[in-house]
Amino acid sequence: MDKRVAIFAALAQGLDLPGVRERFRLTPEALQELFREVADLYRDPGEGFWRLHCDGASRGNPGPAGAGMALFDPQGRLQARKGRYLGETTNNVAEYQALLLGLEEARRLKVKQLRVLADSELMVKQINGRYRVKATHLIPLWREALNALKKFEAWAIAHVPREENRLADEAANQAIDQHTPVR
């Protein structure tokens, strides 16, 4: 029998916490960690801030493009990683499509609180309202992203260096690689 099962069986049979600690030779910290693990199993999966990394890639501007995202739960575990081929488009369109792809996945997983991290300073500042969206072809994507973000109880978006966005970048580039013929 798994030691954790035996500990909870002993508790269910009426053995008090000091008795359980003594019987199973548990430190207070080990018992606390055991309870934390069980609490994590029953926690609402949308509770706490999830982390969404998103990145768009375009080989040429415009050129073959892809969107990528990586979504982590509040405990830092990767829950989803996706890429989508976008055809021929610009890098800025790809960045917004990556954000939308990630937001779609976060909603599917019933995420309530979300922290978005992207290496596109332009997109981040546009979403935060610090830059105006001047390119007419980006306005519908910007609106769609803001509307999607409003569906979360809480959200924030921040710029990160490219090195901190590796998984999303890889997903975007893999999507392009899978659809671009080798020359």
pLDDT digits over 76-103, tens only?
999 999 999 999 999 999 999 999 999 9
| Average pLDDT value for residue range 50-76 | 96
Q: Domain spanning 49-179: which superfamily?
A: Ribonuclease H-like superfamily/Ribonuclease H (3.30.420.10)
135-145 pLDDT, tens digit per residue, is 999 999 999 99
Cα distance between the two ends of the chain? 58
User: Taking Cα atoms as reference points, which of 100, 91, 154 lies closest to residue 121?
Assistant: 91
What's the pTM value of the predicted model, to 2 decimals? 0.76
3 state SS of 124: helix
Residue 174: is its pLDDT beyond 90?
A: yes
Q: Quick check: 46 pLDDT over 70?
A: no
Q: Sheet containing 49-58: give its strands across.
A: 78-89, 63-72, 49-58, 113-118, 154-159
User: Exposed (0-12), middle (13-18) or buried (19+): which is 16, by Cβ within 10 Å?
Assistant: exposed
Burial tier of 56 (Cβ tally within 10 Å: 0-12, 13-18, 19+)? buried
Q: How far apart are CA 99 and CA 141, in angstroms?
A: 10
Mean pLDDT for 37-48 is 67
d(CA 168, CA 83): 8
In the chain, CATH 3.30.420.10 covers 49-179
Question: Does pLDDT of 48 surpass 70?
Answer: yes
